[in-house]
Amino acid sequence: MAPNAVAVMALPELVCVTGASGHLGTWLVKRLLERGYRVRATVRNPGDPTKTAILRNLPGADERLQIVRGQLLEESGFDDAVNGCDGVFHCACPTEFSFEDPYKDCIEPAVNGTVNVLKACAKAPSIKRIVFTSSAAAVRFTQLEDIAGQRFDENCWTDIEMCERDKPHGWPYFVSKTLSEKKAFELAQEYNLDLVTILPPLVNGPFLIDKIPNSVADAISLVTGDISHHKFIRRISYVHIDDIIDAHIFLYETPAAQGRYNGSCADASITEIAELLKKLFPKIKLPDNFDYVGEILLHYMDNSKLKKLGFEFKHGLADMFESAVKCCVEKGLLQYPGEAP
């Protein structure tokens, strides 16, 4: 170094997180800040404190967090957000299961939003990798779901025609995730972008937002007594929020990662979850049987590709349910199971 020269510290990597005010988005921003990243978080209205307060209060936010506007349906609406970034985590997507107009309110926004984000990334030469949050819903909804013991890996894709024909509960979301992930790979190939997708199942555990996230509401519906969710969870795969967030960052930081990755940790039937809940919360009141959910045929999400890459899951089903219920109770959203109001 020349005399009197001043050493310049390299800035931490700058990554963009779309959909940053949602359940996954808030946790992802939190963990990225904890790891020292600079984060540019997109929300629909940065001036709305109800959408940004959680993010602004995260440790490290004052020094390394920018909150910017991002609109899924605006062409070039993400150009400024991703410009100059080293990486992008695309989490933004409609997550409701019921829509007045499934195509207009869910499927088209998800696909068009993905197009807008990928096109914005194609204009930003600094971007090294995009991690796209897809879903196990883009994998498991096929005729194979009715075969006991069926294993679903990254080669499996949800049958869109079957979903549109049979209209199972949540079908617009299943179709939206399938079509948007396929579109993402198509555009990544067209624009020569490094794209990796992660496929979370039902995400359980604590949350930072003020209401119970849809995935947690599904997962703990035996605890809340919301019977409308029970058929959906009669056989399903789960992951703890900490694990799926760590998997996102792991895939971003691991050069060898490529293609799709199942993010499922554990598979369980509703009867197995009921037995677990009885052990965790001895006073809980549960149905005597589950005949009303129909035939229970357990199937499995194969996560071996992610594990072979070196990722390790740290939380089992007990952790997921204990931490989810504890979070709900602490936020005043739920009575402790078995206790009188």
Task: Give tens-digit pLDDT for 265-288.
Answer: 999 999 999 999 999 999 999 999
Confidence of residue 141 (pLDDT cuts 50, 70, 90): confident
- Residue 10 has what pLDDT? 63
Report the range of poorest mean pLDDT among 15-19, 42-46, 243-247. 42-46
pLDDT at 143 over 90: no
**Does residue 320 lie within any of the structural domains?**
no
**Does residue 87 lie within any of the structural domains?**
yes
**Does residue 272 lie within any of the structural domains?**
no
**Does residue 92 lie within any of the structural domains?**
yes
- Residue 297 has what pLDDT? 80
- Residue 89 has what pLDDT? 98
Confidence of residue 96 (pLDDT cuts 50, 70, 90): low
- Residue 1 has what pLDDT? 40
**Does residue 191 lie within any of the structural domains?**
yes
**Does residue 37 lie within any of the structural domains?**
yes
**What angle, 0 to 180 degrees and rounded to 10, lies between the N-to-C axes of helices 317-330 and 270-280?**
60
* Rounded average pLDDT over 187-202: 97
**Does residue 227 lie within any of the structural domains?**
no
Confidence of residue 7 (pLDDT cuts 50, 70, 90): very low
Report the range of poorest mean pLDDT among 65-74, 237-246, 292-301, 317-326. 292-301
More reliable by pLDDT, 103 or 18: 18
- Residue 33 has what pLDDT? 98
Q: What is the DSSP string of 215-269?
A: HHHHHTHHHHT-GGGTTTTSEEEEEEHHHHHHHHHHHHH-TT--EEEE---EEEE
Of 128, 177, 182, 314, the catalytic one is 177
Enter the pTM of the model.
0.93
**Does residue 215 lie within any of the structural domains?**
no
Count of beta carbons in the 10 Å neighbourhood of residue 89? 30
pLDDT at 2 over 90: no
Domain count, the chain: 1
What CATH number has the domain bearing residue 85?
Answer: 3.40.50.720
Confidence of residue 121 (pLDDT cuts 50, 70, 90): very high
Boundaries of domain holding 38: 14-203+241-264+300-314
Question: Over the chain, what is the mean pLDDT?
Answer: 92
**Residue 320, both tokens:** 């997921």
- Residue 339 has what pLDDT? 73
pLDDT at 167 over 50: yes
Half-sphere exposure of 221 (CA within 13 A, CB side): 18
More reliable by pLDDT, 74 or 52: 52
Answer yes or no: 305 catalytic. no
- Residue 58 has what pLDDT? 98
Distance from the Cα of residue 136 to its chain's centroid = 10
Q: Strand 266-269 vs strand 235-240: parallel, antiparallel, or unpaired?
A: antiparallel
